[in-house]
Structure 1
Amino acid sequence: MTMPRRTARRPLAPRVAAPREPVDPARIGRRVVRRRAKGMDAGAAAAALEDARFDARQASRHEDLVDDERRRAELGEWERIDRLLTAAAPGSVYDPDTDDVVRAELAAEAAAAAAREAELRKATRVAAAPTSSRRCAS
């Protein structure tokens, strides 16, 4: 039995490295809270807020946790959701899909992603352009 002959590999097309979005612990914290809060009523949100405040007090006793940006963002988001549900009609539950703050944040993220994508396309075009067109006329 003969083995199939291996063909030479084609070289990969040159690519421009896509800029990575930096990790934002505060944004991660807010998203975690929103997922947990989905479907909660005012009473459940108030209980979760008290738990977050307790966790913040405990963390304040540890030097390495004092500047935890994610924990501060989580506490702030629980406070915001608690205020939102307290002001809402009795029996209302939290839904991030109808939250104006969440909608605005998602719109801003989409706009930033579109801007990054446009910049990447431009960089790709520049990288793919012939070198003779990139020379400066001196």
Structure 2
Amino acid sequence: MTTPQRPVRRSLAARTAAFRERVDPARIGRRSVRRRAKGMTAADVAAALEDARFFARQDSGHEDAADDVRGLAELGEWERIAQLLAAGAPGTVYDPDADVVVQADLAAEAAARDAEPREAAGIAASADKLQALRDVTLEQTEPDKGDEAIRD
């Protein structure tokens, strides 16, 4: 009969190495609007804005949907795009690649993605140092009478 082996515990750095993007409902809503608005004229965006306002009014009557972050972000984005196209030349269509707000958001997200793994690695290294210090401290402590059975 063999005794079960204790699984090897990975370091905190290895466990946190995989980058996971946080879920942001507002950002998801803005991206969704930008995809749908691509190629729309000012009249198309105005119609979509009216639809978004209608759904916002409908949601305000429901307690669970009244504080919908994504819906509010979508409404705000439709309003911003409508203003952008109203200020442009007649017949202009929306292009997210030419939108300075979209480009600024993409640059900020790229910078955050680059910084996140560095921060996680720093935190993991600190945690590993604390774990090593804890292990050394436990080895250096003298057991009280009767603690031998607990340590074993």
TM-score range, shorter chain: 0.7 to 0.9
RMSD: 2.6
Sort the Cα spacing of 1:64 and 1:13 in 2 relative to 1 into closer, same or farther, 3 A. Answer: closer
Aligned to 1:60: 60
With the length of structure 1 as denominator, give the TM-score of the two structures: 0.78
TM-score by length of 2: 0.71
Comparing 85-94 with 12-21, greater Cα deviation is found at 12-21
Give the letter aligned to residue 116 of structure 1. Answer: E
* Structure 2 partner of 1:17: 16
2: distance between equivalents of 1:103 and 1:126? Answer: 35
Unaligned runs of 5+ in 2: 1-7, 138-152
Mapping of residues 35-54 of structure 1, within 5 Å = 35-54=35-54
> Residue 95 of structure 1 aligns to which amino acid in structure 2?
D
1:44-88 per-residue CA deviation (whole Å, 9 max, x = no partner) reads 000000000011111111111100010000000000000000001
What SS does structure 2 have at the residue aligned with 1:64? coil
Based on CA coordinates, which of the two structures has the bigger radius of gyration? 2
Conserved? CA contact 1:16–1:123, under 8 Å:
no
Shift of 1:23: 1.2
Percent identical across equivalent pairs? 60
CA distance in 2, matches of 1:62, 1:93: 35
Equivalence for 1:104? 104
Distance 1:128 1:76 in 2: 44
Amino acid aligned to 1:102: V
Report how far residue 17 of structure 1 moved: 1.7
Gaps of 5+ in 1: 1-10
Number of matched residues?
125
Task: Give how far 1:125 is off.
Answer: 5.8
2:30 maps to 30
Asked if the contact 2:16/2:121 (under 8 Å) is kept, the reply is no
Give the whole-Å Cα distance in 1 for the aligned partners of 2:100 and 2:55: 27
Q: 2:16 is matched by which residue type in structure 1?
A: A
Name 2:78's counterpart in structure 1.
78
- Asked if structure 1 preserves the Cα contact closer than 8 Å seen for 2:16 and 2:124, the reply is no
